[in-house]
Amino acid sequence: MAFPLSSSITLSFTPSTPKQHFLSTHFAFRFSHACSQENARPVQLKVQCKAFKDFVKDQSPWRNIPRSLNLSTFMNGKKLESLVAVVLILAQISSPLPLGGWDFWSVLPANAVLYSPETKIPRTGELALRRAIPANTNMKAIQASLEDISYLLRIPQRKPYGSMEGNVKKALKIAVDGKDSILGSIPADLREKGSILYTSLIDGKEGLQALLKCIKDQDPDKVSVGLASSLDTVAELELLQAPGLSFLLPEQYLKYPRLTGRAVVELNIEKGDGSSFTPEAGGEPRKTATIQVVLDGYSAPLTTGNFAKLVIDGAYDGTKLSCINQGIISENSLDKNGYSVPLEIMPSGQFEPLYKTTLNVQDGELPVLPLSVYGAVAMAHNEDSEEYSSPYQFFFYLYDRRNAGLGGISFDEGQFSVFGYTTAGREVLPQIRTGDVIRAAKLVEGQDRLVLPKESQ
C-alpha cells in the first residue's frame, strides 16, 4: 500500500484501567511521497511519551530514549503495517506498559473470566466443599497455602520443591502463631476434639512436619499423599469451627426446610435393563452400585434442606434416571411433595447466598459451589419460572472441559442451584444409562442439622 502524496496520521493510546498509572503515549506521523525517487524525502516519525504527574518523579529510565527519529527505511511504497509494527515496538521500549492495557488491543472484560486459561476454580468436589466451609481466617490462610502446592505439583520434570517448602513453612507459622485463635473459634464442647486435630496437623504422622520431610526428599508421590492428608485434617478442623450457618436467612424463607451444615446421602443405583455395572478391582460384576453425595448447607441451606427432606420421605426411591447432554437427570414427578425453593447461589467472596438471580460469569462472578466439576449435583429449573428450582428434579453434571470455555468454565456456570458433589462412586456416573433406577436413597449423615418447618414436622 503506497502512502498518499502528503498525509498525516495520528495515533493516541489511552489505557483502559483507570486505577493503575500508565504513561500517556501519543504518536504523530507525517509522510511525504515525491513523484520521483530523486526528490523523495525521508519519513519523519515523532514519538512523545508524557507521564502523569503522580506516576514517577524520576524519569531517568526514559531519558536515553530518542523522541524524534528519521526513518528512511519507510521510503517508496513500504507498507503501513511495517511502520505500525515499529511504532508499537518503540512504544513498548519507551513506556513500561502492557499492550493489553490499551482499549483497542485488550480482550473485552465480558470474556475475561470465561476465556481466561488462568481462571482457578475447584476441579474436584472435595476441593470445592473444603473451600465452602465458613471457617476461621487463619485456617483459610493455611488451606490456601497448602492448596497452592497442588498447582506446583502439576509442573512436569523439575518441580519447584523450594516453593513447596516455603508454602508449608508459611502454613506452619500461621498454625503456630494463630493457635489460640484457631482453637478459640471452636465451640467449647468440641474444643477437645479440635485440640487433638490441631496437634495432628502440626506434628502428626501425616501432618505438616511430615509433609515438609517429603518435600525435602523430593518425592512427588509422597508429597501428593502427605498433602491430601494434611488438607483432610484442615477440613476437619474447619468443620468444627462451623457448627451452623454464618448468616441469617431472610424471614420469608424460614417456611422452607433448611440444612445448617453438611449432610451425606447415599444413592443405590440399579440397571434398568438387567445388565451389570463394571466390577470394582478384583470384584464381581454388580447389579447395583452406590453413589455418595455430600450436601453443602453452608452455601445452599434451602436447596439442601428440601433435597434432604425428600430423601428422608423416600421420594427418590424407585425414581428413573435419564441421560442428557453432559448430565444425568431424575424424572420429574408431579405427585412428590417437594418445596419450590427459590434459585439459591452463593457468590465467591460473599457471606450469604443470592436468591432468584443467576450470576454473570462473564463479568467475573463465580459461585462458591461451581457447576464446572465432574459429579456436581444441582436442581433443575422450575418449569414455570427460572427464578425457582424444581421442587423435586435434580441432576448430576458430567463436566467435560472440551465443552467449556478456555478458562475451563461451563457455559451454564452460575445458572443453577448447585448444592453438593459426588464424593464416592464417581466412576459409576458414566456407566448410568437412560432407564436406570435409584433403588433407594438414604440420608446417612447430617439429619441432626436438618431444620424442618412446623407444618412439615
Pick from 327, 356, 354: nearest CA to 340: 356
- Domains 135-241 and 251-451 belong to one CATH topology: no
Look up the CATH number of domain 135-241.
1.20.120.290
Give the cell for residue 372.
464446572
Largest CA-CA distance found in the chain, in angstroms, rounded = 99
Among 385, 441, 417, 415, CA closest to 304: 417
Q: Hey, where are the domains in the chain?
A: 135-241, 251-451
Coil, helix or strand at residue 184 = helix
Q: What integer is the mean pLDDT of 2-29?
A: 41
**Other residues' Cβ atoms within 10 Å of the Cβ of residue 268:** 15
Residue type, 432: I
The CA distance from 261 to 239, in Å, is 9
Lowest-confidence pick of 68-72, 196-200, 252-256:
68-72
| Among candidate residues 142, 150, 102, the one with its CA nearest the CA of residue 124 | 150
- Tell me the C-alpha distance between 439 and 432, whole Å: 13
Give the whole-angstrom CA distance, residue 315 versus residue 309. Answer: 9
Distance in angstroms (rounded) separating the CA atoms of residues 365 and 274: 44
pLDDT digits (tens, 9 = 90+) for 320-332: 999 988 999 999 8
pLDDT tens readout for residues 142-181: 999 999 999 899 888 889 999 999 999 999 999 999 999 9
Instruction: Report which of 130, 167, 118 is spatially closest to residue 146, judged by C-alpha positions.
Output: 167
Q: What are the residues whose beta carbons fall under 8 Å from the beta carbon of 213, sequence distance 6 or more?
A: none
283 pLDDT band, cuts 50/70/90, is confident
Percent of the chain with pLDDT over 90: 59
Would you list the DSSP string of 310-342?
Answer: HHHTTTTTTEEEEEETTEEEEPP-TTS----PB
Q: What is the DSSP letter of 426?
A: G
- Cell numbers describing residue 27: 504518536
Question: What per-residue confidence (pLDDT) applies to 91?
Answer: 52
13 alpha-carbon distance from chain centroid: 33
pLDDT-derived band of residue 335, with 50, 70 and 90 as boundaries?
A: low
DSSP string, 213-257: HHHHTT-HHHHHHHHHHHHHHHHHHHHHH-SS-SSPPPGGGTTS-
Amino acid (1-letter code) at residue 64: N
Choose among 149, 294, 297: nearest CA to 231. 149
Residue 84 three-state SS = helix
What are 382-426's pLDDT values in tens digits? Answer: 988 999 999 999 999 999 988 888 788 999 999 999 999 999 999
Where does the pLDDT of residue 15 fall: very low under 50, low under 70, confident under 90, or very high at 90 and above?
very low
Looking at residue 356, the DSSP 8-state letter turns out to be S
Q: Residue 141 is which amino acid?
A: A
Tell me how many degrees the CA angle 203-208-210 measures, rounded to the nearest 5.
75
Res 111 pLDDT > 70: no
CATH topology of domain 251-451: Cyclophilin (2.40.100)
